Structure 1
Amino acid sequence: MHEFLLSTAIVALAEMGDKTQLLALLLAARYQKPIPILIAILLATIINHGLSAALGQWITTVIGPDVLLWIVSLGFIAMALWMLVPDELDDESESIHKWQRYGVFGATFILFFLAEIGDKTQIATVALAARFDSLLWVTAGTTLGMMIANAPAVFVGNKLANKLPISLIHKISALIFLTIGIWTLLQHYFF
């Protein structure tokens, strides 16, 4: 259960101001149909994060525990630094227009799945799954974290996004990632 709660918290914080949250805002403004958008985001996230968690678990079988410890620890520290770089949404209007022939659900699913590839939250999911031996709880937690961050974005759009202290949220997320990275190393060598 610890893996689930930590995964939820980390991804919910990491998603604040992230490009996929900005994409959710854009899709909500464009289509104004929150339910199909949220269902598409949920399914895209389950698949994307499920595959990412499986990759994280697989990595633990091919890399020795000492090397893996350093990779995961340094990965969390790198995520802390990455959290301090604000995301920007490239001009997604053209992408939305390109995929709109698949309807609200299809366009949202495709765009969200593609935007999540190589994103902070996907990489965090790989690292969390490598750190914890629980594919199910990590996937469930990171998916819930994505929904916690994106559901309000879909329902209230820019009104809420402009009132959240995104910079502070990113700094808190960075501190959490840094703490996990350092704690993982300290726990291995000193406890």
Structure 2
Amino acid sequence: MFVGTLRWRESFNVDAALKEEFPQDVFGSLGHIFGKDTGGRPIIYNIYGGDQDLKAAFGDVQRFIRWRVALMERSVFLLDFNEVDQTVQVHDYEGVSLSSRDANSKAAASEASNIFQSHYPEMLHKKFFINVPTILSWIFWAFKPLLSANTLAKMSVVGTGQDAIRKALVAHVKEEELPKRYGGLADAF
């Protein structure tokens, strides 16, 4: 697995992805690394809802993948691998509907999942899916039997509403580290 990851890093050219300039109007508000959880783990926020232009973000699947890998790499730089060796991810789907999910977004999600499972193993401590529309929650839970118990234990699907989101996140993130948009006190993105 280690050799495979080294080969992938070279063929993907991770260093070049880190230096690559991505259009701010497309990716500028799509992902953020902000704050730490109660265990000192960096938190990555992926904002796939709201007023995001998902057609532009996922229109070029390989560009999206390069951007997402670069975001992951920036979060890895924050790990010391002594005390902190994992991250927390929050995926916000506010306003996303089934019609928002086209072939490109599905391909990007699938490829990103494969990359992170294969080349960033065990770097995920917890993942929160927030503002998830009911229909997408049902789809997620329909696939529940396909996930390992270990992976499933890391995932939480949180509905909509600031109170529900705040309650789920404050159990893992201090209010001072949690953005106001999620019921915390932090001025962030």
TM-score by length of 2: 0.27
Q: 1 or 2, which has the higher strand percentage? A: 2
TM-score (norm 1): 0.27
1 or 2, which has the higher helix percentage? 1
Higher relative contact order (CA 8 A, sep 6+): 1
